Structure 1
């Protein structure tokens, strides 16, 4: 799964940037004192957008204890892998209208390299930039094509930082926005300023996203659909409907929206829990209709002798419904310290289909900027996430069933608990380096394996 560098995204109002760290919003009022965080600064008030990024991650794993391994296990031998993602962002405004602005978005991307154990064996996999299917190769592909339309509902305006998803620097304070085309849902849903960006923040799948949110996507993390959003001064509501993959975590999408679709809604309140400190809370809900299997049916067929092994794909039904919800919050505590958290739940009866194999997740973390040691664009952070699956899902894996990510051939169930920490160093303009350490207890929910340690080094360039 691949995500954009969300540190560059904008606010939905002047209450503070969404996708930009809360503690980083206290920028100097004099533009000449504002640090340059890209190789080639974008011209102000331009009707076009051209930028790019490159993200290279080296990961290595130490050997760990394991009583056995299966087809989809996280391997217990020492291993290292490298991944690289490069993206070219382009956009154009139809005119300079504030109240009725139109943006045309087109992005190209290239993803190369592989993940540890071919990105198998962990619900919270250690590198969000990895595409699970290595057979797709490193050929460039179209990542996004969108039409973004703004309809202002008032003449009162507010400023926003132009970026590759919204080019205007001024927008109506109350407005309706529409998007249609190819996109990835974490561009707009479940965004968290502290835990959403594998380019400058955390790397783990279930730290950067809500692991229980099985959002509509192909193997690379993209889908086709449309969304509508209402933005007011302190709150927003967004809703979208998108194409689901034809098979679990597959590259092909089912274009028959009448039988397969992912519907997502989110309410966002931009108000802190602490007086005079910025904060945001988001409530997410989703429902997926797709050709999905039922874990209990697969287990029952195996126990009855109908299937030689538990096989979820032998018990798929068109129109099957998988649903869930999530909560996401971030809060500034001081000028340098901010905290965040997530909770996610889904019904867990139907197979994990698009993102990862998590039925329930709880997460908390914090980041601290380096002003105290004269490194204002450096940051250190830590997060803890605990993932779980429901009883039917457990039984399926215990009896030897395979998901699209998990399958040790057996299962001594325990929650998959992960601690991740990183330090990001701003070297020069748009160049950043990071070191990252992850500790995974009960990888793949299996107490017979682990704990595992994974270390990473990352270089990121914005241009």
Structure 2
């Protein structure tokens, strides 16, 4: 019903010049205090699809539907012109298809990977944010949940300390990052091979230093890791468990009219991680009755990876982006998803040609893969925190996503979305599957 209503509304909305006010209520650029909020509701479903077998962690082959919701209250206070305190409360509810199991590139970024946590509000972010303007020219800045300053210098150092999401600051781009208005798939909005430090809700505690110097920037983060894979509790012993993240950003002057941005990412995680080779050997030597990554965890193990992220504005209304990522794949997927290599490309276009300039149409494709060790572990019947069909005939998980977001009025938008997934969970014996969806988004 939600899906049919969303698609129908897209066709009956009037042609309009568009009210591009991003929020329902206006916000001052001068007040020391700031409060805003958002509600994001996503409904998805899939028809039955072919599957030779189904395991404990499989996407269910029978017809399914699921609805998720995320409510966030953003608050902040500017203590001085260069120091802010940011505090956000969040509540998640509903569920994802098959409880978010069976796909590396899951279809809904809003879904919490542990549905037993419930919908009780929790602290999403509590941050001290300092802006040290160093030199250069003042530039306009939009107030948002990460910064209250309406103006910054183009040479500056920004410090964040507290509870945050690394995905807010690393591996971002303007085309494929935001599940509120853009794509919905985990590995389209984020680099699937970036196993960034986070609890099961996507947050961690840490410190980020971001140095901006006109056309280039460099940022570094030190953050806590969860105690166990996909866990909610963080390990506060940083001598044995932590994450280092480094990103370099460059905006080459290729065109005076159309922006180009390139970001290169690396990370190193230390945690109580399991080893795929050890799990496989223990099973083949009959020391374990089944491959079990959890039985072969060891403190202080290291997992590293790299990513590249580019975006190009082709015209005033057309943009494209690409991502690629890789991680070493010997140690278990720990915090984000079960991907060891990924490549994505996508684009979006504003609706100027059809007289709805505040609307967006986007399309993206991503291919995800896993290492030989990870593949063998799943072939033998092993389970990760997301995947485990009981067997595996390996193929890369290939996903195409198409969305249309219609701006209804200031702060209110609706979207129709369609995803096609080939080899769900890297398994050629299952799928393909179509996942249509609809989204309602409100910004206060």
Which of 16, 31, 56 pairs up with 1:46?
31
Q: Are the counterparts in 1 of residues 19 and 409 from structure 2 also a CA contact under 8 Å?
A: no
How big is the shift at 1:270?
2.1
- Name structure 1 gaps, 5 residues minimum: 1-27
Once the two structures are superposed, residues 266-306 of structure 1 have per-residue CA deviations (whole angstroms, 9 ceiling, x without a partner) of 00112365553112110000000000011011001000000
SS in structure 2 of the partner of residue 350 of structure 1 = coil
Q: Are the counterparts in 2 of residues 272 and 280 from structure 1 also a CA contact under 8 Å?
A: no
Q: Are the counterparts in 1 of residues 140 and 152 from structure 2 also a CA contact under 8 Å?
A: yes
- Name structure 2 gaps, 5 residues minimum: 1-16
Structure-1 separation of matches of 2:28 and 2:257: 33
Structure-2 separation of matches of 1:34 and 1:233: 31
Once the two structures are superposed, residues 393-418 of structure 1 have per-residue CA deviations (whole angstroms, 9 ceiling, x without a partner) of 00000000000000000000000000
Residue aligning to 1:60: 45
1:446–1:187 CA distance, 2 compared to 1 (3 A): same
How big is the shift at 1:34?
7.5
Q: Are the counterparts in 2 of residues 200 and 460 from structure 1 also a CA contact under 8 Å?
A: yes
The alignment status of 1:91 with 2:76, answered yes or no, reads yes
Residue aligning to 2:306: 325
Residue aligning to 1:238: 219
How big is the shift at 1:44?
2.3
Which of 244, 259, 282 pairs up with 1:278?
259
What are the within-5 Å matches in structure 2 for residues 369-408 of structure 1? 369-408=350-389
Residue aligning to 2:441: 460
Structure-2 separation of matches of 1:209 and 1:244: 19
The alignment status of 1:35 with 2:20, answered yes or no, reads yes
Residue aligning to 1:168: 149
SS in structure 1 of the partner of residue 225 of structure 2 = coil
What are the within-5 Å matches in structure 2 for residues 21-420 of structure 1? 35-95=20-80, 97=81, 101-154=82-135, 156-271=137-252, 273-274=254-255, 276-420=257-401
How big is the shift at 1:428?
0.7
> Which protein is richer in strand relative to its size?
2
1:84–1:282 CA distance, 2 compared to 1 (3 A): same
How many pairs align? 428
Residue aligning to 1:436: 417
Structure-1 separation of matches of 2:398 and 2:311: 21
How big is the shift at 1:49?
1.1
Q: Are the counterparts in 1 of residues 19 and 358 from structure 2 also a CA contact under 8 Å?
A: no
Normalising by structure 2, report the TM-score.
Answer: 0.95
Once the two structures are superposed, residues 90-144 of structure 1 have per-residue CA deviations (whole angstroms, 9 ceiling, x without a partner) of 011012x3xxx00100000000000000100000000000001111001000000
How big is the shift at 1:424?
0.3
CA RMSD, 1 decimal: 1.3
Structure-2 separation of matches of 1:288 and 1:266: 15
Structure-2 separation of matches of 1:294 and 1:275: 49
Once the two structures are superposed, residues 150-189 of structure 1 have per-residue CA deviations (whole angstroms, 9 ceiling, x without a partner) of 1121264222122221111111221111110000001100
Structure-2 separation of matches of 1:275 and 1:396: 50
Structure-1 separation of matches of 2:249 and 2:437: 33
Q: Are the counterparts in 2 of residues 273 and 279 from structure 1 also a CA contact under 8 Å?
A: yes
Q: Are the counterparts in 2 of residues 72 and 120 from structure 1 also a CA contact under 8 Å?
A: yes
Structure-2 separation of matches of 1:296 and 1:274: 48
